[in-house]
Structures are given as C-alpha cells and as structure tokens.
C-alpha cells in the first residue's frame, strides 16, 4: 500500500505547452484534450458565414487533392512487393498520380485565382495575411510577455476584395468539380 502511495506522489503534473503567439496570430484555436489545434481558415470563414457550405466543400476538396498530390513518391514496402518490377524504376502510387492530374485540372480552371485559393485553403493563411502578401496591408510588431509578436493588419476594403476573390475561386472549383 505504501508503494502505491509513493508512485502516485512521484507523478508530476503535465506541463501543457500552448502554441506560440506567432503561430496563433490571426487564427482561431480549439482545445482537444491536451492538444491545442489551429482551426483551418476555410472552417473559420464557414462558421462565420462568410462562405457557403458548397464553397467550403469545394475549397476543402482542392486542399485535400493538393495535399495528396504533394505526397511522397517514395515507395513503401508493400508497394515494392506488389510492383511487377520489384521496386525498380520510377514509381508513383496511383492516388498521387490521380491527385496530381486532378490538381492540374483544378488549377487550370482557377486561372489567376489559383494563388488565393492555394494560400487560403492549402497553406491555411488568413485573408488579412493574404492582403499583406499582396502589398496592401502592413505588419505591426509588438512585444508581449517578452516575446516579439508580429500581426498583419489590412484595410477592411482590401479584405472584402480578397473574400470576393476567394468566393469567385470557390465558384470556379464548384463548376469544375461538377463537370
């Protein structure tokens, strides 16, 4: 009985590290157990009713396909066993090839709007950060608790234009996916 009490006494409380202020800047977070998760930008826009469910689905589909297309071309051990050449030569999984073809098609359909769709859906940056990347905003740095934190700021007019561009991109994706 004494050993059990001793073991319990030795346990130190878990020290849960939260994301750095730089990582959280401009993003919503949610707690899942001990983890803190960054909410994807397209989810935030949908939850705030800035984009429709159909636009969210189309942007999510594009992001998923882009993620698969960026997958590693390295073959795993099962792929080597199933390959007729025994793992020799250039090999890409069928899912990666299919996703690359699909992403190529979707990006051709997006045209000039590809950059904003990729940035917001795939790279998960906020519309304010997008506006700053385009040179229409500014980044303000301040020190919080001894840590230098830089936040993007942009005029609301430019953010609304960026939202319109994103919605146009989503509409093009919807028409491309339905075709």
Q: For residue range 135-170, list pLDDT tens digits in order.
A: 888 888 888 777 777 788 888 899 999 999 999 999
Low-confidence ranges of the chain (pLDDT < 70): 1-26, 72-91
Cα angle value 141/142/147 (rounded, 5°) = 110
- Asked if residue 110 lies in contact with residue 119, where contact means CB atoms within 8 angstroms, the answer is no
Q: What is the pTM of this model?
A: 0.75
Inter-helix orientation angle 156-178/53-69, to 10°: 80
pLDDT at 9: 61
DSSP strand E in 16-103: where? 29-32, 35-38
């Amino acid at each position: 009985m004494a050993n059990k009490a001793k073991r319990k006494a030795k346990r130190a409380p878990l020290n849960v590290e939260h994301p750095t202020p730089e990582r959280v800047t401009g993003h919503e977070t949610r707690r899942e157990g001990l983890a803190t998760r960054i909410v994807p930008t397209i989810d935030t826009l949908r939850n705030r009713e800035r984009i429709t469910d159909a636009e969210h689905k189309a942007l999510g589909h594009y992001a998923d396909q882009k993620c698969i297309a960026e997958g590693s071309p390295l073959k795993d051990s099962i792929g080597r066993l199933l390959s007729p050449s025994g793992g020799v030569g250039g090999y890409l999984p069928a899912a990666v090839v299919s996703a690359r073809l699909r992403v190529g098609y979707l990006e051709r359909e997006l045209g000039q709007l590809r950059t904003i769709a990729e940035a917001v859906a795939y790279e998960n940056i906020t519309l304010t950060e997008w506006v700053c990347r385009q040179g229409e905003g500014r980044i303000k740095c301040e020190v919080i608790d001894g840590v230098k934190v830089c936040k993007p700021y942009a005029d609301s007019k430019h953010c609304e234009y960026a939202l319109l561009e994103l919605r146009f991109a989503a509409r093009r994706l919807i028409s491309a996916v339905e075709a």
